[in-house]
Structure 1
Amino acid sequence: MDDSGAPTAARGGGIEARRPGRARVLRTIRQHTQVARVDIARETGISPATVTAITADLLSEGLIERISPDAGERPKTSRGRPREALKIRGAAHLVAGVKVSQGAITVLLVDFEGRELGTQEIPRAERRSSAAALVDQIALAVDRACHAIGLDPARVSAVGVGLAGYVDGLRGLVHWSSALTERNVPLADLLSQRVHYAVFIDNDANLVATAEHLFGRGQALRTFLVVTIQHGIGLGVVIDGQLYRGARGCGAEFGHTKVAPGDGAACQCGQRGCLEAYTSEYALLRQAEEVGAGTFTDMAALQEAAAQGDAGIADLLSAAGEYFSMGLANLINIFDPELIILAFEAAGNHPLCQPEIVEAVHSKVVQVDVAPPEIVVHNWGDRMWAKGAAAYGIERLTHLLVEDLGAP
């Protein structure tokens, strides 16, 4: 039988017999630098005959390529002809990952194999834009990134875009984002009408989780959480190896869980009492000004003031840490993950990523006779977000290519 459950001989190795296994075969090849067909069959459970037919399709479409074995590297005990290996063909497609933040648009260009080719950061003149203006900014940023490394933008096959907010990635819809002045924006459709390549969008925290799953600390894990700390607070959830989105496509909004009843602090989402209204950069800078501590431009300035003995600022940061540790403890009690990754974009240390915060979290979780999950800090900066967007672009483009392969 092949992987679809039907006898291979009866199906004749035809298009329908091969269709269900293509994504699995391609994914297995991508996980290896190079891999032989017999090893693909063993890892996927797909019959060798079907693997041969599927890889023939992928070779024909130029998505993978053969690697000629070096007979000189074979063990002396081996007999016969060396096994031919296969790998992803990097030149097959050019993909861009785009991270939209309030201060800049970061673009990372990768080939189909995932190799980084170049990066570019384009400052944004305004922190929030209309949908039309943001579409123009993204298109221009991708073009500039290509020109910067001598590539024709016409070669771009797909773009993954990440931005903060309530984003339904599967529908390409932004319900709300701090980067936009409008709500319920069909951003993927608007950008698709402006450019020639496929466009995929998602919440930026989801894309950090995707990057960690493919390239980072989550590679060997089945269930882990990524908490992003930037202008706001985000969450990416991977359960049983799959990104969790929720029924409406915009679940896991950790920063907008409520931590204060009644008339709590105002959040940029329009509600009150949200976690990020007490812990995010914009909230802490606002609070510092409200208590008369002065005007600060970033978290580093707040930390410096606290280190210099400003008791008011120290109290603000301490309260933020308490709110944040409670939130993380709640995540552990709900999801029981293998690992929590704290990802932030600023250089240096972040006040919410200090050892005492981790200790406070562990004191608040349900105590059982098993150690609590590890909490680690991974500071990749905006490049991390862009790399996640590029990985997402590769994944979604691969899905389209596999679905179209052999279609009438």
Structure 2
Amino acid sequence: MSTATFASPQVLSRPSPNRVQVVAPELRIADNPAAAVLRAASGQGPISRDAASRDTGLSIATVNRQVAVLLGAGLLRERADLTASGAIGRPRVPFEVNHELYLTVGIHIGAVVTSVIASDLRGRILGGVEIPTPQGDQNAALGSIARSARAFTARWHRRQPLWVGVALGGRVDAASGVVDHPRLGWTGARVGSIVGEALGLPVSVSAHVEAMAASELLLAPKISEDRQTSGTSLYFYARETAGVALTIDGRVHTPNNGPGSVAHLPTGSDVICECGQRGCLEATISDRGVAARAVRLGIVDRPTVASLYTAASSGSVAAHDLLVERAQVLGRTVAMLRDLFNPDRVILGGQAFTEYPAGIPHVAEAFAATSTLARKDVRVSGFGKRVQEFAAGVTSLSAIYADPLPSMRRALG
């Protein structure tokens, strides 16, 4: 990832780091007027008041009031240069999200790689860096990640940072920002307080698959209002880990005890899992598991999934067949979960789907052969290989999107 050119007319002081503010993320489409107007500006701006009224279902008077307060908070800006010829009065002036003044910081802590990104208020990623996820003591690892995020944020000296969001696997207590992450060996890790204190910003912490599902709601290009907000969606993620999240009527379902686990669903494979059983899903389809198997079979010399992708793309039949086998396991598993929950749509995310496009037809074929229900909407996430970054970004933006004015007061102290 690369860092974008900085451009903004104003520099504001950062909030005081004396008191860490851990705020549970709002993984939903909010229905209050300020949130609706901000969402219209983010998705369709520059937009007129009339168009915003039609888009949100709010009256012109309500839109005018919300635009005024959002302008005052610095979240919107007017575009007088785009006013239609002959139009009279300020309500005719289009408005848009004030995307050059602020940024939010997103951190995705993966099992192998950690990403740190900066987003503008529209959810566009401005730039980012990747670092190896530190191993060993959890407090030392989090301190190292937080220092890297702070150094990265300091580069954006012409933008005011508002919030930091952290997305990661494991069991997340969103209210406290405390995480249990068995894969990393973390127990009661104070993710929110350590990261928030280091950056001096309000912080939200989310289970990463739930955040990925939220990015489809809040950051994906608008297809239709009904498709975004009504019915149910099943989000299935697979890369180094596997996970699922449900979205119900515009809100990601976030169980009180943390997200459920599909890591040990049986697949019928002969791969031995760390738990001692054979055929567990995560051990079978994870990047690490597939790469290790490729080495044992003599397909590649290095235990990295990148070398396996390279071999398959270069014509290795054995490498291709191994990736097809993973695709078939994924297709059957998604079909089983789809039949269990019967959602209106299924979204597939993660590099296990996107890094080897030749495997997608085999996912679809295995899904069709396994599912007993009529096919509906099944698609691969439009965020491609950047799903982790957008999950971190939406975690950093969700509170602002859900309740813009109180969140700005909190962010600016």
TM-score (norm 1): 0.75
The aligned residue for residue 139 of structure 2 is 132
The aligned residue for residue 59 of structure 1 is 71
Inter-CA distance 257–202: structure 2 relative to 1 (3 Å threshold)? farther
Inter-CA distance 218–392: structure 2 relative to 1 (3 Å threshold)? farther
Structure 1 residue 26: Cα displacement? 2.4
The aligned residue for residue 338 of structure 1 is 345
The aligned residue for residue 56 of structure 2 is 44
2:162 maps to which of 134, 157, 160: 157
Contact preservation (8 Å) 1:342, 1:375: no
Contact preservation (8 Å) 2:179, 2:186: no
Inter-CA distance 55–215: structure 2 relative to 1 (3 Å threshold)? closer
Contact preservation (8 Å) 2:349, 2:387: no
1:386 maps to which of 354, 365, 389: 389
Contact preservation (8 Å) 1:345, 1:380: no
The aligned residue for residue 116 of structure 2 is 107
Alignment of 1:94-243 (within 5 A): 94-124=103-133, 126=134, 128-148=135-155, 150-151=156-157, 155-178=160-183, 180-216=184-220, 219-220=223-224, 221-222=227-228, 223-243=232-252
Inter-CA distance 279–384: structure 2 relative to 1 (3 Å threshold)? closer
Structure 1 residue 232: Cα displacement? 1.5
Classify the secondary structure of the residue corresponding to 2:263: helix
Provide the rounded CA distance (Å) in 2 between the counterparts of 1:200 and 1:246. 16
Provide the rounded CA distance (Å) in 2 between the counterparts of 1:185 and 1:85. 46
The aligned residue for residue 265 of structure 2 is 257
Inter-CA distance 273–171: structure 2 relative to 1 (3 Å threshold)? farther
Classify the secondary structure of the residue corresponding to 1:254: coil
The aligned residue for residue 284 of structure 1 is 290
Structure 1 residue 327: Cα displacement? 0.7
Q: What is the aligned-residue identity percentage?
A: 23
Provide the rounded CA distance (Å) in 1 between the counterparts of 2:44 and 2:287. 40
Contact preservation (8 Å) 2:245, 2:259: no
Provide the rounded CA distance (Å) in 2 between the counterparts of 1:218 and 1:314. 35
Provide the rounded CA distance (Å) in 2 between the counterparts of 1:187 and 1:318. 37
- CA offset digits 1:218-268 (Å, max 9, x no partner): 7543343433222122334333222222242324x333434469x983247
The aligned residue for residue 299 of structure 1 is 305
Inter-CA distance 403–283: structure 2 relative to 1 (3 Å threshold)? same
Provide the rounded CA distance (Å) in 2 between the counterparts of 1:145 and 1:346. 30
Inter-CA distance 50–354: structure 2 relative to 1 (3 Å threshold)? closer
Aligned length: 372
Provide the rounded CA distance (Å) in 2 between the counterparts of 1:29 and 1:88. 6
Provide the rounded CA distance (Å) in 2 between the counterparts of 1:356 and 1:183. 38
Contact preservation (8 Å) 2:295, 2:303: no
Structure 1 residue 216: Cα displacement? 3.6
Provide the rounded CA distance (Å) in 2 between the counterparts of 1:255 and 1:58. 44
Quick check: 22-31 or 317-326, which moved more? 317-326
Residue 33 (structure 1) aligned with residue 45 (structure 2)? yes
Provide the rounded CA distance (Å) in 1 between the counterparts of 2:268 and 2:362. 23
The answer to which structure, 1 or 2, has the higher relative contact order (CA under 8 A, 6+ apart) is: 2
- CA offset digits 1:293-345 (Å, max 9, x no partner): 786412244463896465xx787656544432221111221233334334317
Classify the secondary structure of the residue corresponding to 1:392: helix
Classify the secondary structure of the residue corresponding to 2:384: coil
Structure 1 residue 152: Cα displacement? 6.6
Structure 1 residue 359: Cα displacement? 0.7
Provide the rounded CA distance (Å) in 2 between the counterparts of 1:405 and 1:296. 48
The aligned residue for residue 12 of structure 1 is none
Q: Provide structure 1 residue ranges, at least 5 long, that are not aligned to the other structure.
A: 1-18
RMSD of aligned alpha carbons: 3.8
Provide the rounded CA distance (Å) in 1 between the counterparts of 2:382 and 2:272. 29
Contact preservation (8 Å) 2:195, 2:203: yes
Alignment of 1:74-113 (within 5 A): 83-113=92-122
Greater radius of gyration (CA): 1
Classify the secondary structure of the residue corresponding to 2:187: coil
Classify the secondary structure of the residue corresponding to 2:350: strand
Classify the secondary structure of the residue corresponding to 2:166: strand
1:364 maps to which of 370, 373, 379: 370
Alignment of 1:3-14 (within 5 A): none
Contact preservation (8 Å) 1:69, 1:83: no
Structure 1 residue 95: Cα displacement? 0.6
Quick check: 338-347 or 277-286, which moved more? 338-347
- CA offset digits 1:363-401 (Å, max 9, x no partner): 111144xx44334365733x4311331122112234464
